[in-house]
C-alpha cells in the first residue's frame, strides 16, 4: 500500500463569508502525480495555496507526513514548507536576475552552503532541466518553455519532498508541453518526490496523472477522486465525464 504523504481532512476553504469548497477529504500517496482539476472558478489554485501553507483553512486540517500543519507553531510549519518546491503559472522568475541568480536565491536564503557549493548546485539543477548553458541568461532572453524549465530548476534547488505546479503547461505549444510532462516524470523519479499539479490540460492529466481530485464549482465540494484514466472509464458523474471528454465533444461539434 502506498504511504500517505499529504492528507486533506474535512477541509473547508472560504474567503471571509464566501465559501469556496467544503468537506474535502483525500490522500496523496508518496510518489503520486496528483492532479487538482475542475471547472473555472472551482478553487483549484486556492486549494494549492492551502496545501502550501499560504492560506488558513476555515475548517479541517492538512497533514504532511502525518503531522497536522495548522496544529504546529509557525516555526515548525515553516520547516515543513521548506520541503516544498513551488512553480507558478507565469514561472515567477525575477526578471532583473539571471537564471543562475534566481536558482541561487533559495540556496542563499535557506542554507549555509558556501558560494562554491551554491555554484555547483546551480550547475546541477540547470543540467537536470536541460539548461546547462543558460545560467547567465535573463528570463527575457529565453523562450516561454525555457522559462518554465528554469522555474522548475529553482523549485528543485532545495531537493524538495513535494513539488507543486500551478498550470505548468499554460501558454506552451503541445510539443513543449509534452517535453515538460516528461521532465516532471524524470524529476519525480530522480528526486523521489511527490507532485501536486493544478491543470486543465487533458494531455498532461492523462499522460502523467496517477491520482486526482475533481472540484465542482456548483456544489462547492469534491465529486470524484482517483486515477484520471480510471475516472474516464468508470466515473458516472456527467460533470466529470464532460470535463474529461471535452476534447472528443469539440471534435464532434
250 confidence band (pLDDT: 50, 70, 90): very low
The tens digit of pLDDT for each residue in 202-232 reads 999 999 999 999 999 999 999 999 999 999 9
Q: What one-character-per-residue DSSP string does 86-136 give?
A: EE-TT----TTS-HHHHHHHHHHHH----HHHHHHHHHHHHHHTT-TT-TT
Helix (H, G, I), strand (E, B) or coil at 198: strand
| CATH code of the domain covering residue 164 | 3.40.50.300
Average pLDDT over residues 24-40: 94
pTM: 0.89
Q: How many CA atoms lie within 13 A of 244 on its CB side?
A: 29
In tens, the pLDDT along 36-91 reads 999 888 999 999 999 999 999 999 999 999 999 988 888 888 888 889 998 876 66
Residues 214, 120 share a domain: no
In sign, the C-alpha dihedral spanning 147, 188, 33, 101 is negative
Q: Quick one: pLDDT band at residue 253, thresholds 50, 70, 90?
A: very low
Residues 164, 248: one domain? yes
Q: Are residues 61 and 173 in the same domain?
A: yes
User: Domain span at residue 230?
Assistant: 4-83+160-252
Distance, CA of 205 to CA of 193 (rounded, Å): 18
Strands 162-166 and 59-64: what pairing?
unpaired
Tell me what pLDDT residue 89 has. Answer: 67
Secondary structure of residue 169 in the 3-state scheme: coil
Tens-digit pLDDT profile for residues 14-26: 999 999 999 999 9
Count of domains forming the chain: 2
**Residue linked to cell 509534452:** 178
Amino acid at each position: 500500500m502506498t504511504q500517505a504523504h499529504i492528507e486533506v481532512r474535512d477541509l473547508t476553504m472560504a474567503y471571509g463569508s464566501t465559501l469556496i469548497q467544503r468537506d474535502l477529504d483525500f490522500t496523496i500517496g508518496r510518489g503520486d502525480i496528483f492532479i487538482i482539476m475542475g471547472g473555472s472558478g472551482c478553487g483549484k489554485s486556492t486549494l494549492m495555496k492551502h496545501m502550501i501553507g499560504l492560506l488558513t483553512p476555515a475548517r479541517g486540517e492538512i497533514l504532511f507526513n502525518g503531522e497536522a500543519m495548522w496544529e504546529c507553531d509557525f516555526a515548525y510549519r515553516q520547516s515543513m514548507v521548506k520541503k516544498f518546491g513551488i512553480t507558478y503559472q507565469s514561472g515567477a522568475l525575477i526578471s532583473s536576475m539571471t537564471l543562475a541568480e534566481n536558482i541561487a536565491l533559495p540556496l542563499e536564503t535557506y542554507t549555509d552552503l558556501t558560494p562554491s557549493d551554491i555554484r555547483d548546485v546551480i550547475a546541477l539543477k540547470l543540467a537536470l532541466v536541460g539548461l546547462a548553458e543558460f545560467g547567465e541568461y535573463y528570463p527575457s532572453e529565453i523562450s516561454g518553455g525555457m522559462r518554465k524549465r528554469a522555474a522548475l530548476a529553482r523549485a528543485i534547488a532545495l531537493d524538495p519532498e513535494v513539488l507543486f505546479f500551478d498550470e505548468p503547461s499554460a501558454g506552451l505549444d503541445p510539443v513543449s508541453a509534452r517535453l515538460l510532462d516528461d521532465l516532471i516524470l524524470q524529476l519525480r523519479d530522480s528526486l523521489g518526490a511527490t507532485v501536486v499539479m493544478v491543470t486543465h490540460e487533458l494531455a498532461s492529466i492523462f499522460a502523467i496523472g496517477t491520482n486526482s481530485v475533481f472540484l465542482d464549482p456548483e456544489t462547492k465540494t469534491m465529486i470524484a477522486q482517483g486515477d484520471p484514466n480510471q475516472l474516464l472509464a468508470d466515473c458516472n458523474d456527467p460533470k466529470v465525464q464532460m470535463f474529461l471528454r471535452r476534447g472528443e465533444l469539440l471534435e464532434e461539434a
